[in-house]
Structure 1
C-alpha cells in the first residue's frame, strides 16, 4: 500500500503564519482546533481537524487552541495550547505530541497544557488592538475570549488601551486559502489521481444486478488501499432515477439493465486535500438514444465551461457558459421551447438543471473564499482550484414551468452529471490557462461504452 502522508513541511506552515500575522496588523487571533464529536453513546466520529487551524499549524489533534500574537515580542507570537502527554490516555487513543512536540515539531514559540488557557489567555491578549475570533462556532472557547476582552474593556479607562474590536478572522484566512501554493496544488493533483483511478475501477466493474453499495465499497476500498484518509464526502452511487436526487447517498438499489449510473465520489488525503469527481455511464455498457443525446449535451457544456477557466475570467463566466450550451441543446431536443437568452433570463431551465456549475476546492470540498465582492465577481487567478460540473436531471420532481413542453416518458429517469477538478494556471506556463487535475477519469462518449 502506498503511504501518501506528506513530509511535514514546517516552513510552509511558518510562512502561512507570517502572512496571516502580517494581515492581522496589531490584532491578536484565537483559532481553535476541532473537538471530537459523539456519534452515539460513548462512540465518536473519526476526528477531522478544523481546516483553518490545520492550514496555520499542521497540528492534527483535537481541542488545541492556537494564538497568533503579532503585538507580542519575538519568541511569543505563535502559542499552542494542547493536550499534554498522558500515558494512561494514550493507551486508549494513541500518542500525543504534547507541549514539547508542539514546540519542537510544529514550530510553536511557546506551548501550554490546554487546561491553562483560561488563566493565560488574558495575558497573551493584553495589548492587542483587536481580537480575531470566529464567534458562534466554538462554544467552549468563546466564553474565555469574551471574558478576556471584557476585562480589557473594563480596564480601558485606567490603562488607556484595550482591544477595541472583535474581528472575524475568516476573510483574511479564506482569502489566503483560496489561492493554492504549488505544494497544495501537488496534493490536489494526488487527490485527483487517486479519485480518478477509483472511478475507472468502478466503471470497469459495473454490471446489471450489482448493487449501488457494492460499487461504493469498491471505490472507497481503493481510496484506502492507495493511502488516502477515506472518502472526502458521502459517496453518491446513483442508478437510474436515483441520479435525479442531487445528494442521493442511500446507495442501496440494484443496478438495472438499461439505466445510467451516476457516481460522485472523491478521496480525502491524510492532510485533508480533496478530490471531487462525477462520472455517468450506462450500466450495461451501451447508451440508449436519449441517454446518448443528453450525455453528449452535458459533456459539450462541461468542455465549453472548462475552456472558460483561465486568469481574468470568473466562476460566473464558467457557469453562464455551461448554462448557455445546455439551454441551447435542450431547445434543439424539444425539452425547452423559446428563445435561448429569454429562457436563461427567466430561469425556465431550472427544472432540468437546478444547481451551480462548480465550487472552490481545497482543504474543504466546498472550499472557502468569496465568489463575489460586492457587485464584482472574483476573478480567477493562478492557484485557484474549482470544480466544473454541469448536469441534467429529467424527472417529475419539479413542475414544468408554464409555457414549457411536458416531458415525454422516454426522457424521464435520466440523471447525468460530469465533474472535474480544474486548477487555474498562469497563461505564460499553460497556454489554455488551466489544468484538469482529474483527467485520469475518462469521459468521452466512446470511453463510457464497452
Structure 2
C-alpha cells in the first residue's frame, strides 16, 4: 500500500463530517465474467478504494456518523483456506480492522441481517441507486423497514440520497500524496512514449508499438494500461477511440499514440503524442502539428487557480480556428466560425478532462450556470487535436477539404496539475517540440 493508511483515515473523516447525520453505503466492485467461468482482471471501485484502500471484490463499507463509537464498518469475505488456494489471499475480518482501520468488520454473508441495525438512527441513507443490483434490494429493504416502524418509533431515515456529490468533490482536489502518485504514473507513461518513438519505423505493426509501451508499464511496476492504448497510424488517427491497433505503419504518415499506465493504487497517466513514422514531417503535417502544439501550449498557460476548464478549452479553440483560417481549411471570421461551431468537423472533442483514480475522473465542470474554478490540487488533461477526414460532413459555407490534408490526425495531450504558482506539467518528460519529433 503506497498511500499511507493515515491518508485513508483522513479521507474517511472528511467524508463522514460532510455526511452530517446521513449514513453511507459504499460497495466494492464485484468480479465480472469475461467468458464462461473466467473473470476479467479485478479493478476496484474508485470511490470504495478512495475511502478504504481495500482491494478485494464484493466488500461493502458503511460510514455511520450517527454511531461515533464505530463510524467505519467493513463487510468482507472471511479468511477461508480452500478459497484462497484457488483465488488468492484474503485479509478477512481481522485484516480489515488491523490493516485497513475498520472499527468493526463482519463476514460479507452477515450483511443482510446486520445492515438494518447499522442504518437505524441515521437521518438519511447515502447510496448510489441503479448501479449495484445485488446490494440495492438490501438497502431498500432496510430503509423500508425503518419507514414501517416510524409511526411507532418516531425514527426513520428521511430519504435516500446519492453520496456522489460529497465524495466526488473530495476526489477532485488531490492531496500532496496523491500528486506524488500521479507524478509517478506520468513518469512511467512518458518513458513509454519515448521508447515507442525510438522504435517506430515504417513496416512495424501498430500492435508491436503497443507491446513496447505496455511492456514498459509492467516492467516499471504499474498494474498495466490505464485504458485501451490507442496506436493509430495514418488515417486511423482520425478515429478518436481507435483501439484495434491492427494496422501497419507506413512511411510518410503520422503515428498518434494515446496511452498511459495505471499504478497498483489506480492513479493514472494519460498522454498523447503524434509524430512522423519515417522521422520527417511533410509540409502539411508540419503546419497542422505546429498549430496543434501552439493551441496546446496556449491552453496550458491558462491553467491556474481561478481560471476554469472552459477557458482552457476556449483558448485552444481560438488558436486552432485562427490557424485553420490561415491555412484555408476554414473560411469566415474567427468569431463567426466559433459561434457557429463550424470547426467541429476538424476538432470535435473537448480539450481535457479531470484525471486521478479514474482516467476521466469524477468532479463537476459546472455548478449550474457557472464553471467550476480551478483550485490548487486539481489535475486535468490538456489535449487539443485536429482530424482531417471525410467522416464528418463539411458545414455549409466552409471550404471542401483538399486531398493533400486528408488522413492527418494529430493530438497532443499532457497531464497538468494546478499549483499555487499556476501549473505543473506532470508529463513534460514526453517530448513534443517539432525538432524532437523528427530524426
Interval of TM-score (by shorter of Structure 1 and Structure 2): over 0.9
Aligned length, in residue pairs: 439
Q: Which aligned pairs between 1:260-299 and structure 2 lie closer than 5 A?
A: 260-299=254-293
Determine whether 1:154 maps to 2:148.
Answer: yes
- How much has 1:73 moved relative to structure 2? 3.3
- The root-mean-square deviation of aligned C-alpha atoms, in Å, is 0.5
Residue 25 of structure 2 corresponds to 30
Aligned pair partner of 2:361 in 363, 367, 370: 367
Aligned pair partner of 1:439 in 425, 428, 435: 428
1: CA distance between counterparts of 2:282 and 2:141?
66
- Structure 1 residues 294-339: Cα deviation after superposition (integer angstroms, max 9, x where no partner): 0000000000000000000000000000000000000000000000
2: CA distance between counterparts of 1:7 and 1:370?
27
1: CA distance between counterparts of 2:135 and 2:8?
23
- Structure 1 residues 357-394: Cα deviation after superposition (integer angstroms, max 9, x where no partner): 00000000000000000000000000000000000000
Residue 393 of structure 1 corresponds to 387
Aligned pair partner of 2:405 in 411, 422, 439: 411
Residue 136 of structure 1 corresponds to 130
- Structure 1 residues 162-210: Cα deviation after superposition (integer angstroms, max 9, x where no partner): 0011010000000000000000001000000000000000000000000
SS of the residue 2:184 aligns to: helix
SS of the residue 1:89 aligns to: helix
- How much has 1:139 moved relative to structure 2? 0.4
1: CA distance between counterparts of 2:272 and 2:80?
44
Q: Is 2:304–2:418's contact at 8 Å kept on the other side of the alignment?
A: yes
Aligned pair partner of 1:223 in 211, 217, 233: 217
Q: Please, what TM-score do these two structures have when normalized by structure 2?
A: 1.00
2: CA distance between counterparts of 1:408 and 1:400?
12
Q: Which aligned pairs between 1:255-334 and structure 2 lie closer than 5 A?
A: 255-334=249-328
- How much has 1:92 moved relative to structure 2? 1.0
Aligned pair partner of 2:68 in 65, 73, 96: 73
Q: Is 2:2–2:265's contact at 8 Å kept on the other side of the alignment?
A: no
Residue 6 of structure 2 corresponds to 11
Determine whether 1:378 maps to 2:372.
Answer: yes
Aligned pair partner of 2:181 in 163, 187, 192: 187
SS of the residue 1:238 aligns to: strand
Q: Please, what TM-score do these two structures have when normalized by structure 1?
A: 0.97
Residue 202 of structure 2 corresponds to 208
Q: Which runs of 5+ in 2 are unaligned?
A: none
Residue 3 of structure 1 corresponds to none
- Structure 1 residues 89-116: Cα deviation after superposition (integer angstroms, max 9, x where no partner): 1011111000000000000000000000
- How much has 1:8 moved relative to structure 2? 4.7
Q: Which aligned pairs between 1:28-177 and structure 2 lie closer than 5 A?
A: 28-74=23-69, 76-177=70-171
Q: Which runs of 5+ in 1 are unaligned?
A: 1-5, 428-432
- How much has 1:7 moved relative to structure 2? 3.2
Residue 15 of structure 2 corresponds to 20
CA shift in 2, pair 1:48/1:115, >3 Å:
same
